[in-house]
Amino acid sequence: MSTLSNELKDMAMETGFVSIGITKPEMLRDLPYGWVGKIRRLNNLEEELQTVKSVILLAWHSWDKTFNLNVEPPKDCKDESHYESHYFSDEIMKNKAWGIVDFLHRRGFDAKWSVNIPLKTAAVKCGVGSQGKNTLLISPVFGPRIKLIAILTDAILDIDSPFERDLCGDCDKCVKVCPTNAIEPYRLNITHCMVYSAECPGSTDVPEFVRKEEQRLFQRPTPNSYIECTRCMDVCPIGKKI
């Protein structure tokens, strides 16, 4: 393995990431780019970094529920330029990823962190884990209780093999635990997921019963914040003791 690939992997582990995989853009050509519901547009790699030659996928162990805290702008905020929202685990990961991006910049490479590419499918291609019945990326060590971020760079790095195994087997705990029955094995009915309901408060594609369950079940520590539902993550037996 090249010294740079090794150095990056060591650095990522020291920074606090728990799993790192690397792949090249050709492996990610047929990923689900485009709009996911009305929430997010997933960009292709070149839209994120035109010179991209390698993709580094980093997983961070999100061991506490509060990492799923979402802080929204005040409801009466009309000024677009002050319109900010923050998702706690994204903020932590971006900070951690900056160190690695900076290291690549100092070596003369182009590099950028991104949460705008399809991270779960990319993580499978990088060998980090499999997509489970809850559609989340399941690490063999930490289960789905990980968050993902990518670093795109023009450095040419050694690539890892894709993850080939299915880790779920006969287990269907995540399918059964969802209060709104949003999960079929390996497929999510997005508009039935309470997280979608919370993230799209004005959207008309969310059924009334889903809105009601979201209002009833979501924890709201302050008027402008809520903790996203993680039932289909929490129930997964893989890696639960860690």
Residue closer to ligand B12 (CB basis): 4 or 17: 17
Q: Which is nearer to ligand B12, 4 or 31 (CB)?
A: 31
Do the Cβ atoms of 19 and 150 come closer than 8 Å?
no
State which of residues 127, 228, 235, 239 lies at the interface with ligand B12 (CB under 6 A): 228
75 Cβ neighbours under 8 A, 6+ residues apart: 223, 224
Contact 45, 55 (CB under 8 A): yes
Alpha-carbon distance values, 82 to 69, 77, 78, 223 (Å):
20, 8, 8, 18
Q: Does 136 bind ligand B12 (CB under 6 A)?
A: yes
Q: By CB under 6 A, what part of segment 155-184 binds ligand B12?
A: none
The verdict on 236 binding ligand B12 (CB under 6 A) reads no
> Nearest approach, Cβ of 55 to ligand B12 (angstroms)?
12
**Beta strands 54-61 and 225-227, pairing class:** unpaired
**How far apart, in whole angstroms, are the C-alpha atoms of residue 127 and residue 19?**
9
Residue 232 lies near ligand B12 (rule: CB under 6 A) = yes
Q: Which residues bind ligand B12 (CB under 6 A)?
A: 32, 36, 39-40, 42, 68, 115-121, 131, 134-137, 144, 146-149, 186-188, 190, 193, 195-196, 199, 228, 230, 232-233
